[in-house]
Amino acid sequence: MILVTGARGRVGRAVIDALLATGVPAGDIRGAGRDASRLDLPPGVEPVAVDLTDPATLVPALDGVEQVLLYAQGDTSGLADAADAAGVEHVVLLSSMSSTHHDPADRIGEMHREAEKPLVDADLTATLLRPGAFAANTLDWAAGVRAGVVELPYPDSHVTPIHEADIADVAVAALAGGAVRGTAPTLSGPASLSFRDQVATIAAEVGRDVEVVGLAEDEYRERMSRYAPAWVADSLLHLWAPADGVPQPVHDVTPILGRPGRTFAQWAHDHRDAFA
Ligand SMILES: NC(=O)c1ccc[n+]([C@@H]2O[C@H](COP(=O)([O-])OP(=O)(O)OC[C@H]3O[C@@H](n4cnc5c(N)ncnc54)[C@H](OP(=O)(O)O)[C@@H]3O)[C@@H](O)[C@H]2O)c1
């Protein structure tokens, strides 16, 4: 049995779909979210309630489970203990490329390092997936694309956007016992692109003219403060400022999957309805 936490999340849902596509029976998959009644899972996948901030909720969800896809940030000691006690053999953690930065000003990286360590120390195999920016982050621009103007701090900053289906395919390779199991791969899409390039790709996909307008850091902080604690905006600005006009290293999935990662243009095509 495989437990997929974050089953409503972009990567979690893509992992369930990819497991089914590779022939794993639906009855061998359990999908978890905080509210099991809100999970819209494929037929036969068992819904289960798990709140990752309360490791006790993992105990019933882990009954009979050999492998877990874990969506966790911050201290995972309780989760690692629960997995150990349940006899879980393998945990695939959705971590982040930022965990490799070791930069005290990047709280996002620190939270992911805190999540990785207890799993590495536990008596189980841990696969740490370390993706960079998700292509799906650009869904935040959907209203701007529809309005014809996207406002961004550092519009010429580069990232290497990765399709959630490629992260899922790597997770499934690990769950299937491939060579990536037990490793900590840094993952990216196949190209370094500026935010402006990504807006242009989405605009071309939906056949619209979309202007990109720079946004002052303070204005960005003010807007983000409506949705997230201040350190999130600070950490992101800290990552984007040095990448302004600077292509970022590519860590494509080819060595793991034997094929290149999906392009950002493919991602935009797959999600065109969100912007149209
Ligand atoms: N966005 C990026 O560029 C990026 C890059 C690298 C790494 N990451 C990491 O990838 C992970 C997912 O990021 P995302 O923002 O894209 O997520 P997302 O796909 O929007 O999904 C969030 C998921 O987390 C679940 N969740 C949230 N709090 C939970 C809790 N207390 N207990 C159980 N489940 C909980 C939600 O499930 P319910 O609502 O159903 O409970 C939901 O399925 C994060 O750890 C993030 O740091 C993101």
Closest CA to 232 of 224, 240, 242: 224
Closest CA to 63 of 148, 18, 1: 1
- Distance (Å) from CA 172 to ligand 1 centroid: 18
Q: Is 50 in the pocket of ligand 1 (CB under 6 A)?
A: yes
CATH class of domain segment(s) 133-163+188-276: alpha beta
- Classify residue 3 by its DSSP letter: E
Q: Is 34 in the pocket of ligand 1 (CB under 6 A)?
A: yes
Choice from 16, 30, 34 to test ligand 1 binding pocket (greatest atom count within 8 A of CB): 34
User: How much is the pTM?
Assistant: 0.96
| Pairing outcome for strands 90-94 and 67-70 | parallel
Dist CA 99 CA 116 (whole Å): 9
pLDDT of residue 102: 80
Closest CA to 238 of 147, 97, 108: 108
DSSP notation for 72-116: --S--HHHHHHHHHHT--EEEEE--GGGGT--TT-HHHHHHHHHH
Tokens of 200: 């242009």
- Does residue 144 contact residue 210 with C-beta atoms inside 8 Å? yes
Per domain, the residue ranges of the chain are: 1-131, 133-163+188-276
- Distance (Å) from CA 45 to ligand 1 centroid: 20
pLDDT of residue 189: 98
Dist CA 116 CA 192 (whole Å): 26
Q: Which residues contact 177 (CB under 8 A, 6 or more apart)?
A: none
pLDDT of residue 106: 83
- Distance (Å) from CA 96 to ligand 1 centroid: 11
| The CATH homologous superfamily of the domain defined by 1-131 | NAD(P)-binding Rossmann-like Domain (3.40.50.720)
Dist CA 160 CA 256 (whole Å): 17
Dist CA 27 CA 153 (whole Å): 46
Enumerate the β-bridge partners of residue 32. 48
Sign of CA dihedral 127, 131, 102, 106: negative
* Closest residue CA from atom 19 of ligand 1: 9
pLDDT of residue 228: 93
Q: What is the pLDDT along the chain (276 residues), one digit of tens a residue?
A: 999 999 999 999 999 999 999 999 999 999 999 999 999 999 999 999 999 998 889 999 999 999 999 998 899 999 999 999 999 999 999 999 999 988 887 888 899 999 999 999 999 999 999 999 999 999 999 999 999 999 999 999 999 999 999 999 999 999 999 999 999 999 999 999 999 999 999 999 999 999 999 999 999 999 999 999 999 999 999 999 999 999 999 999 999 999 999 999 999 999 999 999
pLDDT of residue 221: 96
Dist CA 98 CA 33 (whole Å): 25
Q: Is 189 in the pocket of ligand 1 (CB under 6 A)?
A: no
Dist CA 138 CA 128 (whole Å): 24
pLDDT of residue 146: 97
pLDDT of residue 85: 93
Q: Do domains 1-131 and 133-163+188-276 have the same CATH topology?
A: yes
Q: Is 134 in the pocket of ligand 1 (CB under 6 A)?
A: yes
